[in-house]
Structure 1
Amino acid sequence: MKYDVVIAGGGFAGAYCAKVLGRALGREGVRRVALIAESNVLVFQPMLAEVAGSALLSYDVVNPLRQFCRNVDVLQGVIERVDWAARRLSLNGGRFTRDHMVEFRHLVLALGSVTDLGKVPGMADYGWPMRTVSDALRLRSAVINRLEEANLVEDETVRARLLTFVVVGGGYTGVETAGQLLDFLREVRALYANLREARVRVVLVHSRAHLLEEIGQKLGDYAQRVLEKRGMEVRLNSRVTEVTAGRVMLETGRFIEAHTIISTVGNAPNPVVLDVCRQIAVEAVKGRVPVEPVMRVAGQRNLWVIGDCAQVPWTDRGEVKIAPPTAQFAVRQGKQLGENLARVLRAEDGARRASAGNEKADTAPLFPAAPGGAAPAGAKLRPFSYRYMGQLATVGEREAVAEVFGFRFSGFFAWWLWRTIYIAKLPSIVKRLRVTVDWTFDFFFPRDVSVVAPPPEDVVRTVHVSEGEALFERGNKARAYFIVRQGSVTMTDAANARELLEAGSVIDGDWVSPDGNWRATAVTNETTDLLILRGKAMEMLRHDLKLVRRGPDAARHHGFQG
């Protein structure tokens, strides 16, 4: 597959770039331009929190890329690697279409960042990210399932953990997710007979001194006051150092007992972008590639970078700045680069016809040899320019904060402004109508607590447990087996006899009584990583797994030899 232009990334920047190019090239754009995206939809990120809070349906915040980007070949897949010297990339399209090679003449990198929760121990195992529609739907289901569990239990300590929800990160996504979550919980709690008098906690943890620092201290502090007035706990200057199944450990040494942790932080540079930078000997500061004002990498005639992974120079009222990684800038960059690339392609077509002759134009190669240097003659590229409009963030319960053209608003008017502007920015009329209808219903009807699909069961998963936490207690039903990967666990039976299980040990059926309950209590002695086996994996370990070699004291302790 060969294209004049390959756009890597289906977010705002990449999608709008493809849309403009497709419109400029017409029907021939399908064979000349490809948009590569991991998902076949454009996600309207600012409204993800409303999906998690059950205020909007998932289909309200997505638009099919094949409908949005007309006259462009949309390829769904994950880019494994870009070979810049050969002008081609390797695409993983799925289970049966791996290692598919795509060649290009011009490459547009619009890949943004990736989620990396591994910087905080345990966050990857227990934290719920908020980047995609799937993330929002999974979080919504998890929150409702916590309510269902809390409605069953009588133990107040267990119920308190089930009804405590911790949101990590005080930026736009964190504040809006926390606000929506609080609205949802307060509204639907009355549907649960045993929770009407129970305390529901939403804790927002932020490592800096003010919320929403992108929008300014004054409005960030106002957002904090509104959230706290509504009952949310806001903890500033607090950094999360560790997460377990039931605790969020803070840098101060204190912890919050909770079973649901939402992470809106943990962005990391895209490895594909970093690899391209390595190949062309360009340094990407914090994962953002420095580019010229026309959004092309200096010294690289055919490499363009836009969106969150680009450092695009931007003149704001006479002052040169770097465009911030926000949606409004990504949209404008995508549109303007699409116009620039259309000019480049027209100029290259003209040069090709002039060199090959009109009668040979149709047989000229798709990738003709081109001299280095600037754009072809006749291609006048426009530098990036944009009039900054401002920023908005909703804090729930029909209140928001906004900064528009230098004017600051808060309260109900800011909330109305937030909804009006974002409805206007939705990519299609159909989506605008659907969101308007859903928001109208939200005034009169309660939010939906339906969970259509049960949460998937991970038959094998890793867990991170802090010192002194109980894996299970004697008499509990044995629903999983454990392999100690790192750390140690003390087993205490009914006679108060103790045994130390170190790394490599297996906690399986030898510790289970005939009625299926654990014969001992398991408590970690230190920070411990374990492998949990459930369902089919548990049955395999019990009956068929031959990798466990029992020693002479197998009745009490055995190691996983491998």
Structure 2
Amino acid sequence: MAKKTIAIVGGGFAGVACGRRLRRLMSTEEAHIVVFSEENYMVFQPLLAEVAGSSIQAEVPATPLRVALPDVECRREKVIDIHLPENTLVFESFDGLKRTLKYDHVIIACGSGVNLSAVPGMADHAFPFRTVADAVALRAQISQQLEQAAVCEDPVRREFFLTFAVIGGGFSGVEVAGEINDLLQASEKYYPTIKPEESQVILIHSREQLLPEVSSTLRDFTKKKMEQNGVKIVLKQRVKMVTADGVTLSDGTHFHAATVVGTTGTAPHPFVERMKAEKDKGRLKTQPDMRLLGYENAWAIGDCALVLNSFDNEPSPPTGQFAERQGKQCAANLFALLQGKPTKPFYFKPLGMLCAIGGHNAVAEMMGVKLSGFIAWFIWRTVYLLKIPSFSRKVKVALDWTWELMFSRDITGVKIDHANRVHDAYFEAGSFIFKKGDPATDFYVIEKGEVEVMRQIEDGQEPEMVAMFGPGDFFGEMALVEDRPRNASVRARTDVELTIIGKGMFAKMSKILAPLSQQVNNAIRKRTTMRQKLPRSSDILKHSVLKDVIEPLPSQPLSENCTFTSAVGQFEREKADFFCVVDEKANLSGVLTRTDLLSTLEMIAAMPEEERGKIKVKDIMTQNPIWVTVDDSPLLVTEMMRERSMKRMPVVYDINDRRIAGYIRLESLMALVMRKIQAERDALREVN
């Protein structure tokens, strides 16, 4: 038999189990086995919660692939695509160039990705929990919150620092909630200023019971025991949004929490999404023996594959024990195929379920036997200790667990430097991004939504809105440049998504990037308000009503689904300079100008003629334009138009009713001021 090249994409449970079994079945002279993995280690997922809870050291759940897979070529390179008909694998090499590998057989075992975008704000503010880096980051966060709470004099703020919300009541959610709670309780003696009742772990689950994979009696035990240990359990509630302030549930309940952990939400691996193969809900469809449908030398195993288990004719669940068994049987099937022997359908009778729930307690369901409490916890540790693929890692885990039983948990935490990071943030309408007097720590760029600047003009007066910013605008630069606290508050006018740049990173970028520095300086200069430059005009606008200067649109709005050709015709017939664009509910969604049309003409010149007719207004319009409501102050509107050099601005009825009420022209605002000034002069002449 000629030497075969076998490529395995993925270094998780399935990929490692397959590679180990293949190497035992085939010598190095018979097969060249190559494993592609973006990390050079395999993560033993069941131990990640132990890392977050400081029961074991960070490197312990990570077994180096070169240790787990002797005599197998391990490549820490990213697979971009697989051309199945050509038997070619495309990967990004260490030098950034794309290279190819010709294979005889390919085994796809890349697992699944993380999807935190299903809940607004979760991707921005929740800690994911799938990798070693995730567990280490969460452990550092717990330590940092304890340190901040220890010196915080405000009891409300201290309780915020010490509240930890975990989203998802499956295995990962239950285990990490239990470990966080154990770490908090073990750390109490080192933080005498923190009262035990001030810290809280909240576990939120959408179903009626935790751990849907185990029996009802074990679910009840889990809830009862975790609540006895101090974990707050919230069931039958979905998370509506996650913000910098905590978690909001579907019933409107809000938990103020500085730390949110997201253990729900999976997505197909981006590499799998790009593959031209049959899929079911993002998972690769396979034949009974785990070969891809329609291919004889391409296999799929693990979380990325939809593999029917012939034991019960049900799809295999995305768990470690199934991935490991699939990897082993895939290797046996591939070897049998090369020997000219028949392959076997995947068959596996589940061995059971194990889950640690904190406080040296666990639940276990093995071979029909249900166990709970300390004995289940002891079995949980014993089973997973035996399943760790490396002997050296087994020893390290055993030593760490023994140390944790004899001594206190490690409370060492790596300090997170927020001043030099760039991250995204989500704020719901009405929530404050920062308040007057807060220290200046960040620079903000708006991706979606609008914010309003609130300022107390005179002592004793209620704050009023003095400015509004929308997509593409930035704010927070003046206090950073002048190195002073915030002199105004900024509040989310609508739900808003921001990119936040830390103070240190902002200083570096401003120093290196001359255009950014110039733009910031221009903004500071423009934001010298009309109140300072033109006090009389400002006073007139402040006491005027916007409805007096709203004009009807010069033409009917365009629909988002209107074609480009139709839009050009509308511009020609109505001799318009711009059109507002509305969605199916007649809400303002964009603005289309002549400049947009010209840019589109340049773009479609290079397109095939049959594609040109498919271009719609929603593809070329300016999305999420700046708008104001009929109740906004003319002074605010004037300052916004002045800062943005705008000649006109659409007006909607309300923040929650974005139907178009008309539009404002800068000339109309100027004429309003001139009329009132002239009227004052005429009145003065009559008196004299």
State the TM-score, normalizing by the size of structure 1: 0.88
Residue 232 (str. 1) matches residue 227 (str. 2): no
Q: Which residue of 1 aligns with 2:424?
A: 462
Contact 2:114 2:266 in 1 (8 A): yes
**1:67-466 aligned within 5 A:** 67-94=67-94, 96-276=95-275, 279-280=276-277, 282=278, 284-316=279-311, 319-345=312-338, 347=339, 378-452=340-414, 454-455=416-417, 457-466=419-428
Note closer, same or farther for the CA distance 1:34–1:253 as it changes in structure 2 (3 Å cut). Answer: same
Q: Deviations over 1:345-384 (max 9, x none)?
A: 4x3xxxxxxxxxxxxxxxxxxxxxxxxxxxxxx2332322
Q: Which amino acid is 1:191 matched to?
A: Y
Q: Deviations over 1:156-199 (max 9, x none)?
A: 11111110000001110000010111001111122112114451
Query: How many angstroms does 1:509 deviate by?
Result: 3.8
Note closer, same or farther for the CA distance 1:197–1:50 as it changes in structure 2 (3 Å cut). Answer: closer
Note closer, same or farther for the CA distance 1:314–1:513 as it changes in structure 2 (3 Å cut). Answer: closer
Contact 1:170 1:206 in 2 (8 A): yes
Which one has a bigger Cα radius of gyration?
Answer: 2
Q: Structure 1 regions of 5+ residues with no counterpart?
A: 348-377
Counterpart Cα distance in 1 of 2:125 and 2:149: 18
Q: Which residue of 1 aligns with 2:54?
A: 54
Q: Deviations over 1:504-523 (max 9, x none)?
A: 43323445695611111222
Deviates more, 1:501-510 or 1:109-118: 501-510
Residue 475 (str. 1) matches residue 448 (str. 2): no
Counterpart Cα distance in 2 of 1:325 and 1:551: 53
Counterpart Cα distance in 1 of 2:354 and 2:524: 64
Q: Which amino acid is 2:306 matched to?
A: Q
Secondary structure of 1:97's counterpart equals: coil
Query: How many angstroms does 1:19 deviate by?
Result: 0.9
Note closer, same or farther for the CA distance 1:64–1:524 as it changes in structure 2 (3 Å cut). Answer: same
Contact 1:89 1:101 in 2 (8 A): yes
Contact 2:478 2:524 in 1 (8 A): no
Counterpart Cα distance in 2 of 1:339 and 1:539: 58
Q: Which amino acid is 1:492 matched to?
A: M
Q: Deviations over 1:16-68 (max 9, x none)?
A: 10111122222336x62111111111111111100110001122212111111
Contact 1:512 1:519 in 2 (8 A): no
Counterpart Cα distance in 1 of 2:450 and 2:33: 56
Counterpart Cα distance in 2 of 1:172 and 1:178: 10
Q: Which residue of 1 aligns with 2:527?
A: 554
Counterpart Cα distance in 1 of 2:139 and 2:13: 24
Query: How many angstroms does 1:547 deviate by?
Result: 4.0
Q: Structure 2 regions of 5+ residues with no counterpart?
A: 458-462, 530-638, 646-688
Q: Which residue of 1 aligns with 2:14?
A: 13
Note closer, same or farther for the CA distance 1:539–1:560 as it changes in structure 2 (3 Å cut). Answer: farther
- In the alignment of these two chains, the number of paired residues is 521
Q: Which amino acid is 1:285 matched to?
A: D
Note closer, same or farther for the CA distance 1:209–1:552 as it changes in structure 2 (3 Å cut). Answer: same
Note closer, same or farther for the CA distance 1:299–1:480 as it changes in structure 2 (3 Å cut). Answer: closer
Tell me the C-alpha RMSD between the 2 structures: 2.3
Secondary structure of 2:27's counterpart equals: helix
Contact 1:211 1:217 in 2 (8 A): no
Counterpart Cα distance in 1 of 2:395 and 2:64: 16
Query: How many angstroms does 1:114 deviate by?
Result: 0.3
Contact 1:510 1:555 in 2 (8 A): no
Secondary structure of 2:7's counterpart equals: strand
Q: Which residue of 1 aligns with 2:618?
A: none
Note closer, same or farther for the CA distance 1:443–1:512 as it changes in structure 2 (3 Å cut). Answer: closer
Query: Among the aligned pairs, what percent are the same residue?
Result: 33
Query: How many angstroms does 1:420 deviate by?
Result: 1.2
**1:513-528 aligned within 5 A:** 514=482, 516-528=484-496
Counterpart Cα distance in 2 of 1:218 and 1:446: 32
Query: How many angstroms does 1:210 deviate by?
Result: 1.2
Counterpart Cα distance in 2 of 1:541 and 1:458: 10
Q: Which residue of 1 aligns with 2:507?
A: 539
Contact 1:110 1:306 in 2 (8 A): yes
Query: How many angstroms does 1:312 deviate by?
Result: 2.0
Secondary structure of 2:375's counterpart equals: helix
Query: How many angstroms does 1:143 deviate by?
Result: 0.8
Q: Which amino acid is 2:359 matched to?
A: E
Deviates more, 1:162-171 or 1:528-537: 528-537
Counterpart Cα distance in 1 of 2:353 and 2:477: 57
Counterpart Cα distance in 2 of 1:159 and 1:423: 38
Secondary structure of 1:234's counterpart equals: strand
Residue 529 (str. 1) matches residue 497 (str. 2): yes
Note closer, same or farther for the CA distance 1:216–1:106 as it changes in structure 2 (3 Å cut). Answer: same
Q: Which residue of 1 aligns with 2:665?
A: none
